[in-house]
Chains A and B, each alone.
Chain A
Amino acid sequence: MVQLSKQSLDGNVETIILSQLMPGANYGYALVREINEKHEGLLALGEGTIYPVLYRMEEKGLIESELRKTPTGRDRKYYRISDKGRHALEENLRQWEALSRVMGKVRDGISGRTHPTEELA
C-alpha cells in the first residue's frame, strides 16, 4: 500500500473526519481510533492534534457538539456532522472524483506512450 505524504493528508483531514462522522455522532478518542485503523499516519504528529482540527471545524459550522454522560457519570463531548458539513463533504468528494478522473487520464497518457528506445528495438 502506498504511504500518503503528509501534504496529501493534511489538506484532507477535515474530509476524512466528516466521513467518519457520517454514520453518527462520535467522540474524540473513538474518532482517533477509527482514523488510526483506516488511515494510518494521518495523525503522525500525535493523537492530540485532532482536537485543534475538530475545534476549527466546529467554528466553521461543519460539525456540532454536545456533552453526554458516560456510564461512569463523566461528561464526554460528542461531535456530529452538520448540514453544512454534509454539503462540504459532498462537494469535497465531487472535487476529488473530478481530480481523480483528470489524474487517471494523465496516468493513461503516460503508460500508453511508447518510449523511443522501445521503438528502435
Chain B
Amino acid sequence: MKGTIERYLDRVMAVADFGDDTRSTQIRAELRDHLEQKVESLQAEGYDGAEAIVKAVEDHGNPVVVGYRLRPWRMVDVRVRGTARGVIAIGPKAYGVVAIGGVAVGVFAFGGLALGIFSCGGLALALLLSVGGCAAGGAAYGGLALGLVAFGGMAVGVIASGGTAAGLWVPGAGQALWSHYTWQTAPAWWHGIGHWLSYGSAQERMAFFRLHGAIGMAYMVFLAVVITMQAVLMSKERERVRRYDPTLIE
C-alpha cells in the first residue's frame, strides 16, 4: 500500500516542485492522509487491498495535473506541460509579464500565437508593437501586417508601407495598392519616416532596404536568443521531472 501511494506522491511533488521542504512535507502528509482514508473507505465498500489503492490513486487525479496546480507562484515558471504563470513564464501555454510559449499572453509575448502589449510570433497581436509572420496591432511589422502603422510584405493600416500596401496614407504611391489620401497630406511626423520609404530615388530605395534588412536581422537574432533560452530552460525542466519518473514526460 505504502509503495504505490508514495510513488504517486513522489510524482505529484516532483511536478509541484516546492522549494521549501517544510511546506512540501506538510502538503505531502495531507495528501497521504487523504489517500489512506480513501483506501480505508473503499475497502469498507468491498474493494480488496490492491484494487482500493489503485482506485484511490486514480480518483486523486493525474499527478501532473495535481502537481502543477499545487505548484506555488514563482518569478520564473517553466513547465513542460500545461500553462506556465510567472513574471517570466515559459511553457506550451504561458501567461506572464514576459511570456514565451506556443500560446503566449503577456506584456511581452513571444510565441506561435502571441498576445500582448509587445508581441513577436507566428501570429502576433499587440496593443503597441507586433512583429511576426502575421502581425496586428498599433504598430505592426510582418509578412502580413495590420495596424495603425503597418510595415510588411502585405501591409494594411492607417499608414501602410510595404510590397503591397493599402491605407489612408501610403508612401511611394506607385507601389501602393490603394491610398486614400495623397502622401503629401500625411501627418508631418510621418513624413520623416515616410521619406525613407517613398522609393523616390535609387539612394532612398537602398536606404529603405538597409533599414528593413537591419530590422529583420535584429528580429531574427532576438528571436533566436528567445527560442534558445526557451529550449534550454524547458530541457532542464524536462530533465528534472524525468529524474523522478520518465512517464511524467510522456
Contacts and interface: CB of A to CB of B under 8 A. Distances in A.
A47 B61 contact: yes
B30 A51 contact: yes
Interface stretch (A71-79, A97-105, A109-117): A71-79
A22 to B, nearest CB: 22
Nearest to B9: A48
Nearest to B66: A48
Contacts, number: 52
Nearest to B59: A47
B33 A47 contact: no
B58 to A, nearest CB: 8
A48 B38 contact: no
Given A48-B12, A48-B60, A29 B33 contact: yes
B61 A49 contact: yes
The binding surface of chain B is classed by DSSP as helix
Contact of B66 (A27, A49, A76): A49
A23 interface: no
Nearest to B26: A77
A73 to B, nearest CB: 12
Nearest to B32: A74
A55 interface: yes
Interface in A41-96: 45-49, 51-52, 55, 74-77
The binding surface of chain A is classed by DSSP as helix
Interface size grouping (class) on chain A = 10 to 19
Contacts of B37: 29
Contact of B65 (A32, A49, A75): A49
Given A28-B34, A52-B70, A46 B27 contact: no
Given A46-B60, A48-B61, A29 B34 contact: yes
A59 to B, nearest CB: 9
List the 5 shortest-distance A-B pairs measured between CB atoms, nearest first: A46-B61, A48-B66, A52-B69, A48-B60, A48-B61
Interface of B: 12, 26-27, 29-31, 33-34, 37-38, 41, 59-62, 65-66, 69-70
25 contacts: A28-B30, A28-B33, A28-B34, A29-B33, A29-B34, A29-B37, A29-B38, A46-B59, A46-B60, A46-B66, A47-B34, A47-B38, A47-B60, A47-B61, A48-B31, A48-B34, A49-B66, A49-B69, A51-B27, A51-B34, A52-B66, A55-B70, A76-B33, A77-B26, A77-B30
Interface of A: 27-29, 32-33, 45-49, 51-52, 55, 74-77
